[in-house]
Amino acid sequence: MTDLTTLTLADARDGLAAKSFTALELVDAHLVAIEEARALNAYVTETPDEARAMAKAADAQIAAGTAGPLAGIPLGVKDLFATKGVKTTACSKILSNFVPTYESTVTEKLWRDGAVMLGKLNNDEFAMGSSNETSYFGPVVNPWRRAGSDAKLVPGGSSGGSAAAVAANLCLAATATDTGGSIRQPAAFTGTVGMKPTYGRCSRWGIVAFASSLDQAGPIGKTVRDTAILMRSMAGYDPKDSTSVDAPVPNYEAALGKSVKGMKIGIPKEYRVEGMPAEIEKLWGQGAEWLKAAGAELVEVSLPHTRHALPVYYIVAPAEASSNLARYDGVRYGVREPGRNIVEMYENTRAAGFGAEVQRRVMIGTYVLSAGYYDAYYVRAQKVRTLIKQDFDNVFAQGVQAILTPATPSAAFGIGENVGEDPVKMFLNDIFTVTVNMAGLPGLAVPAGQNSQGLPLGLQLIGRPFEEETLFSLGEVIEQAAGRMVAPRWW
């Protein structure tokens, strides 16, 4: 029998329906793979007993003809999604023993459709990071390596565990979240496909909050089809999330194979940033040629406020984080450090419980929200954010249906390479992705090629609000032209 872990989600679904193998066999194969790949540090909590019980239930449903669309499909869950009765830590010391009594809406929808949970996946602490090096449980190792080198590389962040697990065949697909690129950048670094849906498309209820006006849940899969299948189950209205949009969820898989002839694709001139590697520039041109060959029309567009996106993001996101993280005070749940009075207890708890990057962002956020600085920083940042969104509105008003850009300014870098005195160097990894969160738009990262060292590189497609289907159609064109990328196994 083929190694079941190398199947795509779509192939596994078809195999289960044809009874070529059972859900339990599929899950057991993945549990063995997880055990053999602990060197990657992708999972922070493994749930083999729950997985086998869920697989047996799926087998019973398949036999009875009552199976849901994801029956028996083994998934990994980013450790930001609350899972009832299973530790949910946000990969922070302050929540290292937290066990929720409730289930996030997104995971509840997945279990409703018959999916199986293999465990919780590593991420940057509270999703704050671009390399998965800020996790309390240590960095995730990218399954890809540079040709001729055994140096350990980052998988990107914050959803590094999700991307690495999918790339290393440790789950068929994974849930992830994206606040400034945390789905798309790790997908690009690992040769996987990542979709950041329109803000409001997936419920945020039960997901540990970072920056509430930017956070959005989405899927990471091996292929565009797999990502579309998972997205359909994750999306949908939720009355428990006031920002959730009450709109029907399309069958995203049905968008695959649709003609892209006549579609207008924008190429933004502002994304040609100084110092961008020639390989990224070449890949971008290649992606444009593939879409043109499929019948799409390419037009140069302008997004003039792009250059302000990073500074605005690193004001708005920390401001919202400082507000959201105020609840971690040692009083009701999580780690508590003793103190002589309540103020000292708060201070000791937060100093011991939060890592350096989280502390940095909380302090920045508290500063920009403080009296005297609120108008100068936060209010101005929100005004510029509106201008960034208007740039996209203007481009879409000209009939442009999607925008093609690079996903990242480089391929994956080494663990420890960008950790140093200058945190801004790490922030620059989000240069192509943060605008999408600022404007609340959907963005899809698709593997499109490899650099000279054999590492995957991705392209990003940005779409109109709630037009994820267009991105899946275009993404499949790039995927078909570039071919799938599989990390050579070394672990």
The set of catalytic residues is 78, 158, 182
3-state DSSP assignment of residue 120: strand
Radius of gyration of the chain (CA): 21
- The HSE-up count of residue 401 (CA atoms within 13 Å, CB side) is 17
One-letter amino acid for residue 321 of the chain: A
CA triple 77-39-7, angle to 5 deg: 55
Contact between 408 and 345 (Cβ < 8 Å):
no
Contact between 42 and 76 (Cβ < 8 Å):
yes
> Angle, nearest 10°, between helix axes 224-234 and 468-482?
160
3-state DSSP assignment of residue 409: coil
| Phi, psi values for residue 59, rounded to 5° | -60, -40
Cα distance between residue 253 and residue 404, in whole Å: 21
Q: What's the per-residue H, E or C state across 261-323? A: CCCEEEEEHHHCCCCCCHHHHHHHHHHHHHHHHCCCEEEEECCHHHHHHHHHHHHHHHHHHHH
- The HSE-up count of residue 303 (CA atoms within 13 Å, CB side) is 32
Burial of 146 (0-12, 13-18, 19+ CB in 10 A): middle
Range list of β-strands (E), 331-486:
402-406, 443-450, 456-463
In the numeric block, which tokens belong to residue 267?
Answer: 């190429």
| 195 Cβ contact list (under 8 Å, min separation 6) | 183, 218, 219, 220, 227, 228, 231, 442, 443, 444, 445, 468, 471, 472
Cα distance between residue 426 and residue 393, in whole Å: 29
**Closest of 17, 134, 135, 8 to residue 74, by C-alpha:** 8
Contact between 279 and 452 (Cβ < 8 Å):
yes
Sequence-distant contacts of 359-362: CB under 8 A, at least 24 apart: 360/423, 361/128, 361/317, 361/318, 361/321, 361/322, 362/318, 362/321, 362/322, 362/325
